[in-house]
Amino acid sequence: MKKITALFTVAVLTAAIITSCSSPKTKENELSKQEEEQGYQLLFDGKTLNGWHLYNQGNISSGWIAQDGELKCLPGTAARHGDLVTDQDFENYELSFDWKISKEGNSGVFINVVERADIPTAWASGPEYQLLEKGHHDYDKEMKRAGCLYNFSPQLNPAEVNPPNEWNHSVIRQQNGKIEFVLNGIITAKEDFNSTKWRQAVANTNFKNFPEFGKHLKGRIALQDWNKGISFKNIKIRKING
């Protein structure tokens, strides 16, 4: 009986391994069947910058390129530089993306960005999900570590960023002005952009000098250009009910 049971166990495990190996895996920059059913859309097709443009400069050639399945910002080039922004506005959503950053790199993802000629940069209206490599000189500043709501709160729960040029996974959720940031599976920030607490926090920083900052619950998503290299892939978004 023991021998039969052992043989049965081996057969089950073998079948499970075969099934796992033969199951289709989601390719980079593509949606799985489950993600399609959940209403996700790709914001980066892995090949082009379709759906993106340079903030306040339109669809022009820049330091941002699609290369090797990555959306990259190349540092130190003669190309035009600036933050890359979506063509669409988004309100209640869940955004997920993978990112890797060079040694001492510093970048970010801005949300609720209002693009207007009288607003000079994406960060003048959009709060930032901070992206930072551990070797950067700001890493010891608690409110500037990766996954933070930049300059407003330290990590809600400790989360480590992977070594330079290794991929990290991030999620941004926003519902009726309430946001949640996730870094490598750990919730690192929460805030309510409707709250008096938020308005007071803005008033106590240099952002108070930018009248549109942090006041919007809908807007574009922007990727920050910086002096060091940054890459993104698997940028996916789905609408959630408000």
pLDDT, tens digit (0-9, with 9 covering 90-100), for 108-143? 999 999 999 999 999 999 999 999 999 998 888 999
* Number of domains comprising the chain: 1
13 belongs to a structural domain? no
Residue range 51-56: average pLDDT?
A: 97
The span from the CA of 64 to the CA of 231, in Å, is: 9
In a domain, 6, yes or no: no
Provide CB contacts within 8 A for 155, sequence distance 6+: 142, 145, 147, 148, 183, 188, 189
pLDDT, tens digit, for every residue of 38-53?
A: 999 999 999 999 999 9
Structural domain including 64 reads 32-239
The tokens describing 99, both together, are: 């990112």
pTM of this structure: 0.88
**CATH number for 106:** 2.60.120.560
Q: 68 lies in a domain?
A: yes
CA atoms within a 13 Å half-sphere pointing along the CA-CB vector of 25: 6
For strands 70-73 and 64-67, give the pairing. Answer: antiparallel
Residue 7 lies in a domain: no
d(CA 237, CA 240): 10
Q: How many Å apart are CA 151 and CA 143, to the nearest integer?
A: 5
Is 1 within a domain?
no
Q: Is residue 232 part of a domain?
A: yes
213: in domain: yes
Region of 134 (left: φ > 0; alpha: ψ -120 to 50; beta: rest) is alpha
Q: Is residue 94 part of a domain?
A: yes
208: DSSP letter: G
